[in-house]
């Protein structure tokens, strides 16, 4: 994805690497039908779906905003990162230039460059996250220890929200819970243009065009489906660009009705 102008705001994808998941194990339809039978082309020869990893760079006024920060230096045979800071530098930026980091949620493949070895990478930035997300992954007594170690150093840089919240000029956090307790989408809007950054509200494009898909790690599958349906209904058949956190090349598309079907259009 090349840089896109949303009114006077510039949005660019920043790649970090790629991940693999067994498609039929992680994505299924709530009606128990084999939804994959119509999407075999999304799977490789091993039955894996390929996931782009990275985040989005938003330049708005004097603010430099990152929405999610990739998987970090992980290389475990299924997930591999390491390119994010290099990608930022290709845009002429160093970590200290970033003013805001906004998390769609706090799974490992979205927070990888938040800290490294206990050090905050974007140490001049305010880090924005839904308060329920922070509680679940960091403050709760049952929070995963790895998440606590990774994320706790951000506490002094943290700003939480619980409802729709403006985090920078033209950038709005909108809770869309279900995948995790505080999953959030970010709406970029200026001069009549709109872009929706979904995070993991959808992992594949057909989750937007076909109702009823769930992801194995959704904490509340029914709510995740409802949150996704709400976004689809609001932005289908509009000029809004929609980008998923794992869609190919992190590239956006539009949702366009054709009769009773809903299509994903990339140009």
- The first and second tokens of residue 246, run together, are 């794992």
pTM, two decimal places: 0.97
What the chain holds in terms of domains, given with CATH numbers, is 4-265 (3.60.15.10)
Distance CA 18, CA 79 (A): 6
Both structure tokens of 46: 């091993």
> What's the rounded Cα separation, in Å, for the pair 92 and 102?
20
Per-residue pLDDT of the chain in tens (267 residues, 90 and over written 9) = 679 999 999 999 999 999 999 999 999 987 766 788 889 999 999 999 999 999 999 999 999 999 999 999 999 999 999 999 999 999 999 999 999 999 999 999 999 999 999 999 999 999 999 999 999 999 999 999 999 999 999 999 999 999 999 999 999 999 999 999 999 999 999 999 999 999 999 999 999 999 889 999 999 999 999 999 999 999 999 999 999 999 999 999 999 999 989 999 997
Cβ(161)–Cβ(128) below 8 Å: yes
Q: What region does 200 belong to: left with phi over 0, alpha with psi -120 to 50, or beta?
A: alpha
């Amino acid at each position: 994805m090349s840089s896109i102008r949303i009114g006077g705001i510039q949005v660019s994808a920043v790649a970090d690497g790629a991940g693999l998941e067994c498609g039929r194990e992680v994505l299924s339809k709530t009606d128990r039908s084999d939804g994959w039978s119509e999407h075999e082309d999304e799977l490789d020869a091993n039955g894996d779906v390929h996931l782009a990893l990275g985040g989005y760079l938003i330049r708005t006024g004097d603010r430099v905003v990152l929405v999610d920060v990739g998987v970090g230096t992980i290389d475990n045979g299924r997930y591999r990162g390491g390119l994010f800071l290099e990608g930022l530098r290709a845009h002429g930026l160093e970590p200290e230039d970033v003013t805001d980091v906004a998390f769609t949620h706090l799974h490992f493949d979205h927070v990888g460059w938040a800290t490294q070895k206990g050090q905050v990478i974007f140490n001049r930035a305010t880090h924005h996250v839904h308060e329920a997300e922070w509680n679940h992954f960091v403050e709760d007594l049952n929070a995963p220890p790895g998440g606590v170690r990774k994320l706790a150093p951000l506490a002094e840089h943290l700003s939480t929200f619980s409802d729709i919240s403006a985090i920078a000029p033209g950038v709005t956090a909108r809770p869309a819970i279900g995948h995790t307790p505080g999953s959030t989408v970010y709406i970029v809007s200026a001069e009549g243009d709109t872009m929706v950054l979904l995070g993991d509200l959808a992992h594949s494009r057909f989750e937007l065009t076909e109702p009823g898909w769930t992801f194995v790690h959704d904490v509340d599958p029914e709510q995740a489906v409802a949150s996704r349906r709400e976004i689809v209904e609001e932005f289908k058949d509009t000029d809004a660009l929609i980008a998923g956190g794992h869609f190919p090349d992190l590239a956006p598309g539009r949702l366009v009705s054709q009769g009773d079907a809903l299509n994903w259009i990339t140009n």
